[in-house]
């Protein structure tokens, strides 16, 4: 199970880049959501599970490999160097944020997944839009659209974190009921 989980984590990272590069962003009114955001939300959950399986120190080695994979995939898909840079920096900071919060919380698994994912997903969304898409970065979005792009990504990623946390909590409750 452990190697499969690791492979799923890495494939999801490359997949998020492919989906984002090959699919137009979804627009919900003024809110913009890159299709890859749905996978990115799942990546934070998978990273938590990788940490459970391999421990914190090994997880950082996996994050380093995943960051390189993300940057290389982005570059191979034809993204500008600015987007590749934004992708790498954002990945490193958001995955580190998720890892450190997940590590320090002494709560049930569902709550650690929820809280670390909320922070990691928010950091990921804000940083990537600012560094990669805003006029500060590649300039793909005007300032008027930056907040909407951030909001769309945060909503999707946080929604996935909340759904995963609910499923984990229900599973834990069902196991406790079965044991009783």
Running along the chain, 180 residues long, what does each successive block of 10 average in pLDDT? 90 92 90 89 90 95 93 92 91 95 96 95 95 93 95 93 93 90
Residue 78: the pLDDT is 92
Burial class (CB in 10 A: 0-12, 13-18, 19+), 92: middle
In this predicted structure, what is the pLDDT of residue 32? 86
Does the CA dihedral 56-61-64-65 come out positive or negative? negative
Which pLDDT belongs to residue 104?
96
In the three-class reduction of DSSP (H, G, I as helix; E, B as strand; rest coil), residue 141 is classed as coil
pLDDT at 42: 86
pTM for the model: 0.90
Q: What is the pLDDT of residue 2?
A: 87
Contacts of 165 (CB under 8 A, 6+ apart): 110, 111, 113, 114, 117
Angle between helices 81-104 and 37-54 (to 10 degrees): 50
- Give the residue from 57, 47, 55, 61 showing the smallest Cα distance to 6: 47
């Amino acid at each position: 199970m452990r190697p499969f989980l690791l492979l799923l984590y890495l494939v999801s990272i490359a997949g998020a880049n492919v989906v984002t590069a090959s699919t137009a962003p979804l627009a919900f009114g003024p809110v913009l959501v890159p299709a890859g955001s749905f996978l990115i939300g799942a990546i934070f959950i998978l990273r938590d599970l990788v940490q459970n399986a391999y421990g914190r120190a090994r997880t950082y080695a996996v994050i380093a490999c995943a960051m390189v994979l993300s940057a290389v995939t982005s570059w191979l898909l034809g993204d500008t160097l600015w987007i590749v840079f934004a992708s790498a920096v954002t990945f490193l900071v958001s995955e580190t944020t998720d890892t450190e919060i997940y590590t320090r919380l002494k709560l049930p698994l569902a709550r650690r997944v929820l809280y670390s994912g909320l922070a990691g997903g928010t950091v990921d969304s804000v940083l990537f839009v600012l560094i990669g898409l805003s006029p500060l970065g590649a300039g793909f979005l005007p300032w008027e659209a930056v907040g909407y792009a951030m909001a769309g990504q945060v909503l999707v990623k946080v929604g996935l974190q909340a759904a995963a946390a609910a499923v984990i909590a229900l599973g834990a409750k069902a196991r406790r009921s079965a044991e009783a």
